[in-house]
Amino acid sequence: MVGHKALARASVITFVSRTLAVPVVSEATTTFTSMPSVTDETVPVTNVTSHGSYTGPPPTTTGALSTVVLAATVAAHPPEPYKLQYPADGKLHEPQPAPYTPAGGLGTNGSEPVYRVQSDFDYESIALGLYQEWIELDLFHWGLATFSVEDFEAVGLTAEDRALLEFMADQEVGHATLLTNMLGPQAPKQCTYNYPAMNVTEYIDFSQKLTRFGESGVYGFLNHLDSRETGQLLLQSISTEARQQMIFRQFEGLFPMPVWFEVGIPQSWAWTLLAPYISSCPEDQTRLIWQNFPSLNILNQPNPARIDGSNVWNETTTGYTNTLSTADINAGEACVDATKQGESCAPAITHNRSIPLSYPGRQVFLSWDEPGLPVGPNNSYVTSTTAGSPKFAAWVSQLNVTYSPLMNISGNTAYTIQPNTSTYEGDPAANGTMFLAITDRELPVTPFNLTMINPFVNALAIYQAG
């Protein structure tokens, strides 16, 4: 018997050797089947909800969710001492809990993971993420239902591109289900939405900006979650969201990833940018704690649909996202049909534009709304700010927050100069789809404590730097 086993092993070794040397084409002779595995059901969804501005009764509850507020701001403190003690010399300094396992880490002690929120911070952050997943699900389906095949093909988007858009909507079903399960029965439900009037070009631009603040909003809170298990699953979904944002940039003919680092923003920034496009939500919908800042309008927002995208004035469809408008683009000015190298913005894996959308030293003209405007689901939230008089523009991109002074301030208008600053040598910090805020001071903040800037923000927008 031993001899037979050895022979069998030898035969297998010989067979593998031969298959590596000589390709073999085989034909199936038997059809194998297996029982499908049991999977969780997805949450109920509506492919396209009703749309339009809110026309219902005045809300009975207004403002963000709140309890007792302990202080006007979170006080700044020096770093915790233990964070400066590890020698970081490449050697091991503690006994290993298991082979090939260094000491340290959180959630590494063998305890069973629990994939649920663990604090108010967790719940409010994940609930915000779920609001974002719901609107993306609706927006992707809405575009496919609203625009004809001819509309898409007129800007170079084929049936395969539309199939990709449909698949991205399907991804949102999974993301919404995941976050709903981590939140429990009070998780926010799908709402109805109010998008600006758009053609396909404007729709793609709006989508790439909406996915930008959706992605960046999660990066901003991901590593602050008390539930690291929840953070792990959210990371795996937001990685897909990041790919969606890049796809929309490619649909728009923009360079897909013009930065070395993606930016993270506070939850209140993401909610500020999202809420204006939510019309109404179901009764007893879970409310959020996050702030709604006034809108910042970029009067000469760069327009990616133009050959010369920087030479513009008042070509946006809405504040907050400052989505491009094609209304004033004449024949010969649109880049989607341009054939000269460096001018085309037709859908592509990548384009290098010979005329940049923005550049250091560019004058950027701004106006901003007063606080106190109703916004969001059922007009039940109110824009607010605790900042003093506006003095600076805060450019938030990659790892940087760079301030430039406001000039010629007159009421709620001013201009500033796009700064010339780099993340690292050779990497301009102001690039891609980034964020611009008006503040009353130059507060030193970094990616991990960017929320410290919130009490000093007057207004907020997305800036299309590249």
Q: What is the predicted pLDDT for the residue at 29?
A: 52
pLDDT tens figures, 17-51: 343 445 555 565 555 666 776 678 898 888 878 78
Q: Is the pLDDT of residue 9 over 70?
A: no
* pLDDT value at 173 more than 60: yes
Read off the pTM. Answer: 0.90
Q: Which residues, in sequence order, are bridge partners of residue 368?
A: 296
pLDDT digits (tens, 9 = 90+) for 357-382: 999 999 999 999 999 999 999 999 99
- The helix or strand, by DSSP H or E, that contains position 146, with its residue range, turns out to be helix 120-146
How confident is the model at residue 22, as a pLDDT?
52
- Per-residue pLDDT reduced to its tens digit, 187-239: 999 999 999 989 999 999 999 999 999 999 999 999 999 999 999 999 999 99
pLDDT higher than 80, residue 454: yes
H helix count then E strand count, the chain: 7, 12
Residue pair 225/122 in contact by the 8 Å Cβ criterion: yes
Tell me the average pLDDT of the chain.
91
% of the chain beyond a pLDDT of 70: 92
Q: Answer for the pair 436, 273: CB distance below 8 angstroms, yes or no.
A: no
Q: What value does the mean pLDDT take over residues 392-404?
A: 97
Q: Which residues pair with 324 in a beta bridge?
A: 316
Decide: 214 and 244 in contact? Cβ < 8 Å: no
pLDDT band (50, 70, 90) for residue 1: very low
Cα(64)–Cα(381) distance, integer angstroms: 6
Per-residue pLDDT at 26 = 57
pLDDT for 236-279, tens place per residue? Answer: 999 999 999 999 999 999 999 999 999 999 999 999 999 999 99
As a whole number, mean pLDDT of residues 60-76 equals: 85
Percent with pLDDT over 90 in the chain: 77
Q: Which residue from 262, 436, 457 is spatially nearest to 358, judged by alpha carbons?
A: 436
Is residue 189 within 8 A of residue 285, CB to CB? The reply is: yes
Query: In whole angstroms, what is the distance from residue 410 CA to residue 414 CA?
Result: 6
Q: How far apart are the first and last CA of the chain?
A: 72
What is the CA angle 353-355-357, rounded to 5? Answer: 85
Distance CA 301, CA 206 (A): 13
Contact status, residue 391 vs residue 408, Cβ threshold 8 Å: no
